[in-house]
């Protein structure tokens, strides 16, 4: 049973892709779908942490060398917990915490601006996108959103589509940009300087 569940983990990136593509295809119902999608992807990420940790424990236990890093030879927190924290837990939990931070900040900004900056579901789309992409691709996502938003804003000003100080809605960009980064993530790591930076901050 455990081996079957672990084999499913290999398909999780594809499952995340399907969920995101489904949200984009059914975008007319995004208000109803985005929160359940966030709950679903959070559940899948927690599942991923648990079973990857169990699998790593079994790998250590069945090894003639690394079994000495487990009880009764060592306490779990002497090496094993540190190992899985850095290799498994942090890469998954950290983007969730970053996503929560952005969710909180965007909601606060909206509350004090009387929802001038974002539609009600936009903070949830940002939260979802950050969890979906994970670490360190969420950094590329935030940077790309900023650059695209700035270019579009300046273009709208130049062509007098909006006045200075008006909000430029990115409502239809949050999820498609996340999906594009996901699809071309291998290419991103080969971009000069960008790839080196991402590898340097990767867990």
Which residues make Cβ contacts (< 8 Å) with residue 130, sequence separation at least 6?
95, 98, 99, 102, 138, 141, 142
Helix, strand or coil, per DSSP, at residue 89? helix
For 15-50, write each residue's pLDDT tens digit: 999 999 999 999 999 999 999 999 999 999 999 999
Residue with tokens 């995340």: 16
Average pLDDT, the chain: 89
Domain ranges of the chain: 2-201
pLDDT digits (tens, 9 = 90+) for 59-87: 888 887 777 777 778 777 778 888 899 99
pTM score, whole prediction: 0.91
Helix (H, G, I), strand (E, B) or coil at 141: helix
Angle, CA of 109, 37 and 139, to the nearest 5°: 55
71 within 8 A of 78, measured Cβ to Cβ: no
* Cα atoms in the Cβ-side hemisphere of radius 13 Å centred on 76: 8
Burial grade of 132 (CB within 10 A; 0-12, 13-18, 19 or more) = buried
Helix (H, G, I), strand (E, B) or coil at 117: coil
Confidence of residue 5 (pLDDT cuts 50, 70, 90): low
Distances (CA, A) of 28 to 25, 141, 180: 8, 23, 20
């Amino acid at each position: 049973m455990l081996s079957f569940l672990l084999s499913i983990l290999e398909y999780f990136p594809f499952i995340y892709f399907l969920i995101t593509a489904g949200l984009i295809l059914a975008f007319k119902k995004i208000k109803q779908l985005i929160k359940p999608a966030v709950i679903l992807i959070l559940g899948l990420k927690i599942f991923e942490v648990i079973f990857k940790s169990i699998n790593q424990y079994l790998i250590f236990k069945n090894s003639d060398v690394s079994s000495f890093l487990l009880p009764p030879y060592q306490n779990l927190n002497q090496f094993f917990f540190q190992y899985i924290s850095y290799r498994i837990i942090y890469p998954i939990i950290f983007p969730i915490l970053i996503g929560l931070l952005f969710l909180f900040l965007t909601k606060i900004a909206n509350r004090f601006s009387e929802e001038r900056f974002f539609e009600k579901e936009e903070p949830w789309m940002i939260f979802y996108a950050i969890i979906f992409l994970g670490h360190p691709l969420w950094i590329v996502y935030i940077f790309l959103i900023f650059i695209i938003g700035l270019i579009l804003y300046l273009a709208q000003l130049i062509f007098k589509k909006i006045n200075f100080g008006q909000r430029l809605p990115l409502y239809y960009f949050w999820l498609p940009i996340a999906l594009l980064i996901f699809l071309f993530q291998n290419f991103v790591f080969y971009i000069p300087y960008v790839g080196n930076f991402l590898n340097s901050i990767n867990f």
